[in-house]
Amino acid sequence: MGIDISDGIESGKLIVKVLTTNETSLTLLTEDKFNGKVIQPGANANRARGEHGLALSISVTDNDTKHLFLLDTGGLSQAIVNNSEQLGVNLNEVEKFILSHGHFDHFGGISAVFPQFSKGTEIYVNPLCFSQNYIAVMKSGEEIPANALGESLRSLSKEGKLSINKKLPLLSRNMINDLVDQYGLKLIETNEPQRLYKGIVTSGEIELFDKNERTKGIYIQKSRNEFVEHYFRDETSVYINVKDKGLVVITGCGHCGIKNIIKYGQKLTGIDKVYALIGGFHEEWNPIEIVDEKVKYIEALNPEITCGMHCTGFTFNKLMSRHTSHTLGIVGTEFHL
């Protein structure tokens, strides 16, 4: 399946802004090497709130008309509301909202954000995002087979072999439906790619060219003692074609694996040139050898901008900093693409 976004967006007409992520800073300097394409907030972030979560606004100017889209709402502290106001993003102007996946650090602000949307705003969610997620990570790094997890979870915990062992907050379908009904929003549940605007498409279900690249240690809990491996069939990314520049890849957490997400974007759109990579790449749990291999893959693609934030991790950013495309993303970072 492919989607034609060859019409694209004119260079300089696209702005991606970080509304919430894990870090804030007043002293992170804008780097001259990007020639105004990456701008750090400086003193504009003096009241910005960081949290474990991610939310990005995507604005397009076309024929003097502005179109605003929103990917995710950040975490449970709902920092997005304060940050959006401070950073000059009017949530009432959002035309379409996309939920990247059903984890609390991406849907946490929904109950505060949806009431600010205008009537008729389109809400895109994958129907699988309402599944119950569970994290069980071994200190040894070994992955626990899902069919053995129910039986061994308690004993592994007592033996102190788990570094993480918890049920994640569940995204409530009833809450989504109630908010949609109350505020006159339009809910679109789909796992298929959706064209949001010319040059902009959602991924739909991301093809896993390498299943081993997905995040390990996260499961779908079917019942108290029944777990299945999580292949993140609910995860959605956004692909944007910037004319004469290439493909902008925007991720929420990158649980499907950043290489899979890039390759699928190239396959879906037919655009091989990667211009920018922005979002969460979830490399925090991977050993340095795996992270280095992914960095080398991105280096070979030679994008102009690579910004991994939120769950991307220190090791990825340390290694990626050797490439000229690398930059840091904090609350208020703007990408003028």
Task: Check which CATH number belongs to the domain holding 169 and give it.
Answer: 3.60.15.10
pLDDT for 154: 83
Alpha helices in the chain (DSSP H): 79-86, 104-107, 110-113, 146-158, 173-183, 258-269, 288-301, 314-320
Question: Is 110 among the domain residues?
Answer: yes
Closest Cα partner for 102 from 218, 266, 228?
A: 218
| pLDDT of res. 158 | 83
- 161 CB-contact burial (10 Å; exposed 0-12 / middle 13-18 / buried 19+): middle
**pLDDT value at position 25?**
97
pLDDT at 151: 77
At 205-257, the pLDDT tens digits run 999 999 999 999 999 999 988 999 999 999 999 999 999 999 999 999 999 99
Query: What is residue 56's predicted lDDT score, i.e. its pLDDT?
Result: 98
Instruction: Identify whether 205 is part of a domain.
Output: yes
Q: Is residue 147 part of a domain?
A: yes
By three-state DSSP, how is residue 128 classified? helix
Q: Classify 119 as helix, strand or coil.
A: coil
Cα atoms in the 13 Å half-sphere on the side-chain side of 39: 14
Number of other CB atoms surrounding residue 272 within 10 Å: 11
CA distance 237 to 243: 20
Which pLDDT score, from 0 to 100, does residue 142 have? 83
Q: For position 161, what pLDDT does the model report?
A: 85
Kindly report the number of other CB atoms within 10 A of residue 176's CB atom: 22
Give the per-residue pLDDT at 149: 86
pLDDT of res. 166: 93
| Tally of domains in the chain | 1
Angle between helix axes 288-301 and 258-269 (nearest 10 degrees) is 30
- Looking at residue 21, its pLDDT comes to 98
Total residue length of the chain: 337
Q: Is residue 3 part of a domain?
A: no
96 within a domain of the structure (yes/no): yes
Q: What CA–CA distance (Å, rounded) separates 111 from 115?
A: 7
142's CB contacts (< 8 A; 6+ apart) are none
How far apart (Å, rounded) are the C-alpha atoms in residues 161 and 180? 43
What does each C-alpha distance from 315 to 67, 208, 285, 297 come to in angstroms? 36, 24, 10, 15
Which portions of the chain are predicted below pLDDT 70? none
State the average pLDDT for the chain: 96
User: Is 23 contained in some domain?
Assistant: yes
Q: 């491996």: which residue's tokens?
A: 229
SS3 content of the chain, % helix, strand, coil (to 5): 30, 30, 45
In a domain, 122, yes or no: yes
The two tokens of residue 325 are: 């495309």
Alpha-carbon gap, residue 220 to 130, rounded angstroms: 10
Which domain, by its residues, includes 56? 14-336
Beta strand ranges found along 126-172 (DSSP E): 133-138, 162-167
- pLDDT, residue 291, reads 97
- 273 lies in some domain: yes
